[in-house]
Amino acid sequence: MCNLYSLTKGQAAIREAARAMRDLTGNLAPMPGIYPDHAAPIVRSGADGVRELALARWGMPSPSRTIFEAAGKRANRLRARGQEVDFASLLQMEPDRGVTNIRNTSSRHWEPHLGPASRCLVPFTSFSEFSRDAGGNIWFALGGERPLAFLAGLWMPGWTGVRRAATGPETIDVFGFLTCEPNREVAAVHPKAMPVIVTDPEEMDVWMTAPWRQAARLQRPLADGMLRIVGRGGKEDDA
């Protein structure tokens, strides 16, 4: 599971590569370590169809069953301590940490989010897969110079829910990105999955505009040999 990536290229480069005509991010600083629930830039289609660069929080809504089961466990713990439980209120305040990596796109949970309006491109320069045996965070990029590339993502405007109990309900734009079987380089470190990477303008257009049957073909590993390890152990990749 990829729960850490970096973006160290400037917003002008992102806009040019993704052909984004509008920028809503303000002054975007380099982000050498992006973690779940952090705000990060995505390229999405605006309400008027114009491709735009905007910020969203990393983590799509979890399935309702996941939240229900978590609230049920919390309720059982409270009851075991002799406390009365208002389950409806407890469920409403149950934290949803979000889904960062999306693999099973055939799930009914993701069906409402697969249309072009809900797809986005997530710019990155490197991503990390954790392996204790390999030295901790293993950073992968398309080359030592860490060229800009994009992950195939999904986003949702105006999600209302609880990320942290201390913060309470929030209304935020959120995103996540797709994963797939790993290619040779990633499999040597993390054999379960890798992010779905799109590398050229044609693939970006397919992901952002094509019917799902065509766009779904991009949920495949990057070709063997296209990634290299550029760092080990660090929590940021700022080279």
pLDDT band at 102 (very low <50, low <70, confident <90, very high): very high
Let me know whether 83 and 184 are in one domain.
no
- Judge if 71 and 56 occupy the same domain: no
44 and 122 fall within a common domain: yes
- Identify whether residues 183 and 78 lie together within a single domain: no
Residue 233 CA, distance from chain mean position? 21
User: Which pLDDT value is given to residue 108?
Assistant: 94
Domain that holds residue 196: 5-61+98-232
Residues 145 and 157 in one domain: yes
Say if residue 203 is in the same domain as residue 181: yes
Residues 45 and 73 in one domain: no
Domain with residue 141: its CATH number is: 3.90.1680.20
Sheet holding 31-34: strands in order across?
31-34, 5-7, 126-131, 136-141, 228-232
Question: pLDDT digit string (tens) for 196-217?
Answer: 999 899 999 999 999 999 999 9
Clarify whether residues 115 and 126 are in a common domain: yes
pLDDT score at 239: 67
pLDDT of 93 reads: 79
pLDDT of residue 87: 79
pLDDT at residue number 84: 82
How far apart (Å, rounded) are the C-alpha atoms in residues 180 and 101? 10
Judged on CB neighbours under 10 Å (0-12, 13-18, 19+), 127 is buried
Residue 237 lies in a domain: no
Q: Tell me the C-alpha distance between 60 and 150, whole Å.
A: 18
Please tell me whether residues 165 and 85 are part of one structural domain. no
pLDDT value of position 132: 85
pTM: 0.93
Please check whether residue 165 lies inside any domain of the structure: yes
The reply to whether 89 falls in a domain is yes
Count of the separate structural domains present in the chain: 2
| Residue 238 forms part of a structural domain | no
Read off φ and ψ for residue 167, nearest 5 degrees: -85, -35
More confident residue, 63 or 218: 218
Q: Are residues 122 and 50 in the same domain?
A: yes
Question: Is there a single domain that holds both residue 17 and residue 76?
Answer: no
Whether residue 205 sits in one domain with residue 151:
yes
Q: What is the pLDDT of residues 144-189, one digit of tens each?
A: 999 999 999 999 999 999 998 888 899 999 999 999 999 999 999 9
Is residue 175 a contact partner of residue 56, using CB atoms and an 8 Å limit? yes
Q: What letters, b where the CB count within 10 A reaches 16 and e where it falls short, cover 189-214?
A: bbeebbbbbbeeeebbebbbeeeeee
Specify if 239 maps to a domain: no
